[in-house]
Amino acid sequence: WLVIDRKVYDVSRFSKRHPGGSRVISHYAGQDATDAFIAFHKDKSLVERYLKSLLIGELAPDQPSFESNKEKALVEDFRELRCSVEKMGLLRPNYTFFFLVFLHLLVLDVASWLMVWHFGISFVPFVVGMVFFTTAQVNCWQPFNTADLFGSPRWTAFMRCCYPTSWWNHLHNQHHAKPNCFRKDPDLNMHPLLFSLGKTLSMEVSMRMFGEAKM
């Protein structure tokens, strides 16, 4: 179960059919998932149709509606800030910006091919062209794949066609659902020694790798 807007939902069976992957839901098992739910689901009315059948109760008035490791005032300030940002329209995509991003990436792509075509495939032109091409390819996926530009699941899926669904569900979505949370953010699990910052995280990494007896 998890909590969304003070309502408790049993997602044990639904998690396996969750389009965003079961692991994202499991990271919030027994916790308040309100903020993650709002961030990941643009069309709330559509998703709420599925939530009705999963509803099993509501929190008691004295129960806090936020994660236990977070401060109430900080959570409330964040939610108020998000509402203000939405009302100001700052979360709506700026199509001019994305067009300019696409244009400069296209220029880099063309420049890479022109470099090789005009100067040949000697070492220096090849390396410069490869740098241009790699820069364009590396930077093209982030703005166009993570942003919901068209508000349509089909168009969003089309923009993400170069990345498998498993990558989005099991890596990218988890990263944004639980950023910088050890054992939940895949970016930290890729190479824990590179992210062993802070006393608590360093101890957890050491215990997992070398055992509690050696601490």
In a domain? residue 158: no
Indicate the average pLDDT of the chain. 76
Q: Hey, what are 69's tokens?
A: 């490791």
pTM of the model: 0.60
Task: Answer yes or no: do 37 and 55 share one domain.
Answer: yes
Q: Where are the beta strands (DSSP E) in the chain?
A: 2-4, 7-9, 55-58
In a domain? residue 153: no
Where among 40, 61, 87 does a domain terminate?
87
Task: Answer yes or no: do 6 and 27 share one domain.
Answer: yes
Task: Answer yes or no: do 26 and 81 share one domain.
Answer: yes
> Residue 28 belongs to what domain range?
2-87
Q: Do 3 and 37 meet the contact criterion of CB atoms below 8 Å apart?
A: no
Task: Answer yes or no: do 43 and 59 share one domain.
Answer: yes
CATH of the domain at 71: 3.10.120.10
Most confident of 56-65, 138-147, 195-204: 56-65
pLDDT tens digits, residue range 120-133? 888 999 999 999 99
Task: Answer yes or no: do 50 and 72 share one domain.
Answer: yes
pLDDT tens digits, residue range 153-187? 566 666 555 556 566 656 777 777 777 776 777 76
**Contacts for 160 with CB less than 8 Å, ≥ 6 apart:** 145, 168
Residue 215 banded pLDDT, cuts 50, 70, 90: very low
Task: Answer yes or no: do 32 and 101 share one domain.
Answer: no
Q: What is the mean pLDDT of residues 37-50?
A: 80
Task: Answer yes or no: do 114 and 62 share one domain.
Answer: no
pLDDT tens digits, residue range 65-110? 766 667 778 888 888 898 898 888 887 778 888 888 889 888 999 9
Task: Answer yes or no: do 64 and 80 share one domain.
Answer: yes
In a domain? residue 163: no
Q: Do 32 and 66 meet the contact criterion of CB atoms below 8 Å apart?
A: yes
Residue 153 neighbours by CB distance under 10 Å: 13
Tally of domains in the chain? 3
Task: Answer yes or no: do 82 and 128 share one domain.
Answer: no
Q: What is the mean pLDDT of residues 56-60?
A: 87
pLDDT tops 70 at residue 205: no
Where among 103, 130, 147 does a domain terminate?
147
Looking at the chain, how many residues does it have? 215
In a domain? residue 165: no
In a domain? residue 198: yes
Q: What's the rounded Cα separation, in Å, for the pair 150 and 141? A: 16
Lowest mean pLDDT among 32-36, 46-50, 85-89, 210-214: 210-214
In a domain? residue 114: yes
What pLDDT, on a 0 to 100 scale, did the predictor assign at position 157?
A: 60
In a domain? residue 47: yes
Whole-number percent of the chain with pLDDT over 90: 8
Q: Do 172 and 40 meet the contact criterion of CB atoms below 8 Å apart?
A: no
pLDDT tops 80 at residue 19: no
In a domain? residue 64: yes
Where among 147, 163, 191 does a domain terminate?
147
